Amino acid sequence: MESKNNWKAWLYLAPVLILMSIFTFYPLINTFFISFLKNFDYRSGANSGFTFDNYGIVLGITEKVAGIPESKVTEFVQYALPNTFLVTFITVPISIILSLLIAIGINNVKWFKKGLQTIFFMPYVTNIIAVGMVFSVIFGDNGIFNFIFGLSGTKWVTESASWQNSMTILCLYIIWSALPYKILIFSSGLQNIDKQYYDAAKIDGSNKWKTTMKITIPLLSPQILYIMITSFIGAFKEYNAVVGLFNRNYTDSGNVHDLTTVVYYIYQQLEGNNPQMHIAAAGAVILFAIIMVFTFVQMRVSKKRVHY
């Protein structure tokens, strides 16, 4: 029976294995590989040999055109990376705390539970780019937001808006679209907590707040960890929000580099008639490395505090 199952199983898995190999495993290795090639031409596969230069170029250390110091591209380290870190470290904690509070709040109310859950989940099914465009209208120079708060004329997301303003709106939007998934995960986690623990806490004299802090949240810690890791990864890879919110062509001059993120940078390398695959690859590998490091750190730090 065992051996019979063996080849049958592989038969069932054939499609997924073939596709995964072509579109996941191979690309993984290939991208890694490409990042070390010089002057990679993706159409012909030709290259000028092995080099670390691509990483250097991305990190702004190596000159893009040999011999010309000015051709050093600092866009990545100067703008993309800091922006991305900033966005991540602002939006992730805020959205986690907010969503936790909302999920616990929903769990504690008697009426409209289903309705509230539905409302809070809506942003998840919407097109990030489409709604981003709506945000850009709301926060337009003469938009409704400025009108309500009497700030007419303040530039939030238009071309000459300050970096702080635009960054604020970007974070706001990312938090808005990141809440639903977290609220849902926390809500289902909360529903899985045995009601008896709450009863026991009541008998033990604990008020609602203390129970939430000492009982509910620790029991929710597996979900919190999961959300922390996935949010971090998601925020770090943020791209669609930027595209939706800011309809600008970044090859124009001006405050152009202000709001690029790491992924935006990577895709930028692929635009145009001469896509710089090797540089994009280097960027992608760096992205991957950063994510791995932070995930590892998070899992390490949380070992003590997460209870299954």
User: Which of the residues 140 through 179 are near another protein (CB under 8 A)?
Assistant: 140, 142-144, 146-147, 176, 179
State the DSSP code for 50: B
Q: How is the chain split among helix, strand and coil, in percent rounded to 5?
A: 70, 0, 30
Q: Which stretch binds another protein (CB under 8 A): 46-54, 58-66, 67-75, 121-129?
A: 121-129
Q: At its nearest, how many Å lie between another protein and the CB of residue 67?
A: 28
Contact set for another protein, span 242-261 (CB under 8 A): 243-244, 247
- 67 versus 76: smaller Cβ distance to another protein: 76
Q: Stretches 52-60, 71-79, 81-89, 238-246: which one binds another protein (CB under 8 A)? A: 238-246
Quick one: which segment of 71-79, 89-97, 157-165, 206-214 binds another protein (CB under 8 A)? 206-214
What is the spatial distance between Cα 281 and Cα 38, in angstroms, rounded to a whole number? 11
What whole-number distance in Å separates Cα of residue 31 and Cα of residue 108?
Answer: 48
Residues 9-28 binding another protein (CB under 8 A) are 9-10, 12-13, 15-16, 19-20, 22-28
Token pair 């709506």 is at which residue? Answer: 134
The conformation of residue 184, written as its DSSP 8-state character, comes to: H
If the CB atoms of residues 90 and 178 are measured against another protein, the closer one turns out to be 178
Q: Which listed residue (73, 215, 248, 255) binds another protein by CB under 8 A?
A: 215
Give the per-residue contact string, 29-68, with another protein (x = CB under 8 A; - = no).
-xxx-x-------xx-------------------------
In this structure, the dihedral spanned by the alpha carbons of residues 122, 183, 211 and 298, taken in order and rounded to 10 degrees, is -170
| Distance of alpha carbon 234 from alpha carbon 228, whole angstroms | 10
> What separation in angstroms does the CA of 69 have from each of 11, 56, 62, 65, 279?
56, 13, 8, 8, 18
Fill in the DSSP letter of residue 80: I
The DSSP call for residue 125 is: G
For residue 105, state whether it binds another protein (rule: CB under 8 A).
yes
